[in-house]
């Protein structure tokens, strides 16, 4: 049986007419309590959706569609809509969610917390043990930048084009633990690294370990956190299938005794920056050589790397069709720029609303 896979998506709450982000998350959720599938986030201008652990992509696809529609319906009751954008194209005053943890984050991290209105897509894949999970985290590190490029959906910030395909990744990178990590070697090594970070007194809790890939503190999963939220739920399904393929491939390599790559974190940061900067519309760094290569070739190497796992899970057709569509039509960043050129930030937000729950 294929490994379980689940997805967390963060969505903006925007005015149904003007498209301006609105700080109404608590009002939208006031009819709860809701299950863990629908929760508030750091900022009041966003919601988080969570799928259940799914075995088939059909199940995951239906859950994401249903929860996006449910969120859109709840938002409508407050005169707002949901938009799957990695960042807001408009300038937005900070409105942090008034919870104890978020207040402490604001006090400790100041403008970094206030300006983090970003929406990501986090993929959880089941693992058998912490040992297997750490082996996976160590082995998938060079393959995460192509996932960021495929998902890139945040070129606009404060009313301007940033020049980045995923500016969300740059904004989120201000947090002290965000980004790529070194290899940990074992579950004991991972736990020791986490203990040292928490002992620093800087982090509020273990939830602030914002690694691009980590062991979940709540579930028996590897959590890949590198992606922007996708404009359409179908693309999130493609990313989830690729992540599941990476996890399964890495677990097999570990079981076969293949060593984890000893990649320098500085090279991983360069590869991530390159993916954040150009997305699918420029060169990326090859995950094996860290030399420039076309985005098409790098994405093809990713699919080839996980092809066996995709076939075994029955996911290859879905991934092949989705990747072909993204590499030919471009990621969400390209469409945002096209809409922005015609109608400015408000047009981008209105377009995103139409695509989010379609």
Number of domains forming the structure of the chain: 1
Instruction: Report the distance separating Cα 244 and Cα 124, nearest Å.
Output: 8
Nearest alpha-carbon partner for 80 in 49, 46, 114: 46
CA pair distance 101, 258, nearest whole angstrom: 41
Q: Please compute Rg for the chain using Cα positions.
A: 19
Cis preceding linkage at 121, omega within 30: no
Q: Cα–Cα distance between 265 and 180 in angstroms, integer?
A: 6
Per the CB < 8 A criterion, the answer to whether 261 and 285 are in contact is: no
The pLDDT of residue 34 is 62
Which string of DSSP letters, residue by residue, matches 19-86?
A: --B---HHHHTTT----TTEEE-SBTTEEEEEPPPBSSHHHHHHHHHHHHHHHHHHHHTTTEEEE--S
Report the Cα 44 to chain-centroid distance in Å.
19
Return per-residue pLDDT of the chain as tens, 358 residues.
Answer: 899 999 999 999 999 888 889 999 999 988 665 656 888 899 999 999 999 999 999 999 999 999 999 999 999 999 999 999 999 999 988 899 988 899 999 999 999 999 999 999 999 999 999 999 999 999 999 999 999 999 999 999 999 999 999 999 999 999 999 999 999 999 999 999 999 999 999 999 999 999 999 999 999 999 999 999 999 999 999 999 999 999 999 999 999 999 999 889 999 999 999 999 999 999 999 999 999 999 999 999 999 999 999 999 999 999 999 999 999 999 999 999 999 999 999 999 999 999 998 7
Rounded CA gap, 51 and 111, in Å?
A: 31
Output the pLDDT for position 36: 67
Could you list the beta-strand ranges (E) of the chain: 5-15, 38-40, 46-50, 80-83, 120-126, 156-157, 160-161, 213-215, 221-228, 283-285, 292-294
Domain limits for position 126: 5-356
| CATH number of the domain where residue 298 is located | 3.30.590.20
Rounded CA-CA distance 155/144 in Å is: 19
33 alpha-carbon distance from chain centroid = 26
C-alpha distance from residue 195 to each of 52, 191, 201, 219 (Å) = 29, 6, 11, 19
Q: What is the pLDDT of residue 33?
A: 59
Residue 214 corresponds to which tokens in the numbers above?
Answer: 């980590």
- In sequence order, which residues have a C-beta less than 8 Å from that of residue 168 and are 6 or more positions away? 86, 87, 118, 119, 120, 153, 154, 228
């Amino acid at each position: 049986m294929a490994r379980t896979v689940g997805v967390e998506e963060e969505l903006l709450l925007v005015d149904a007419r003007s498209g301006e982000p609105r700080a109404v998350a608590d009002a939208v959720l006031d009819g709860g309590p809701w299950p863990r599938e629908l929760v508030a986030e750091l900022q009041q201008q966003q919601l988080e959706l969570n799928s259940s652990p799914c075995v088939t992509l059909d199940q995951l696809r239906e859950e994401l569609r249903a929860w996006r529609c449910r969120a859109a319906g709840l938002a409508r009751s407050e005169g707002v809509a949901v938009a799957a954008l990695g960042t807001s194209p408009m300038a937005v005053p900070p409105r942090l969610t008034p919870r104890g943890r978020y207040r402490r984050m604001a006090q400790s991290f100041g403008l970094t917390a206030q300006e983090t209105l970003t929406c990501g897509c986090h993929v959880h894949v089941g693992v058998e043990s912490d040992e297997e999970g750490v082996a996976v985290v160590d082995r998938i590190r060079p393959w995460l930048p192509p996932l960021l490029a495929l998902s890139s959906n945040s070129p606009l910030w404060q009313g301007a084009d940033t020049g980045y395909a995923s500016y969300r990744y740059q904004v989120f990178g201000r947090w002290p633990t965000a980004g790529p990590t070194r290899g940990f070697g074992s579950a004991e090594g991972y736990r020791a690294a986490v203990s040292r970070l928490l002992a620093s007194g800087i982090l509020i809790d273990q939830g602030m370990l914002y690694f691009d890939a980590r062991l979940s503190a709540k579930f028996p999963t590897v959590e890949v956190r590198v992606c922007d939220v996708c404009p359409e739920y179908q693309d999130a399904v493609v990313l989830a299938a690729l992540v599941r393929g990476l996890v399964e491939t890495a677990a097999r390599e570990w079981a076969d005794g293949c060593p984890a790559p000893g990649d320098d974190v500085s090279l991983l940061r360069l590869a991530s920056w390159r993916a954040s900067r150009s997305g699918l519309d420029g060169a990326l760094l090859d995950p094996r050589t860290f030399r420039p290569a076309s985005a098409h070739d790098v994405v093809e190497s990713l699919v080839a790397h996980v092809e066996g796992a995709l076939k075994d899970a029955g996911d290859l057709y879905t991934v092949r069709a989705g990747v072909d569509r993204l590499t030919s039509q471009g990621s969400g960043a390209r469409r945002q720029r096209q809409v922005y050129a015609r109608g400015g930030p408000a047009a981008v937000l209105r377009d995103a609303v139409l695509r989010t729950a379609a």
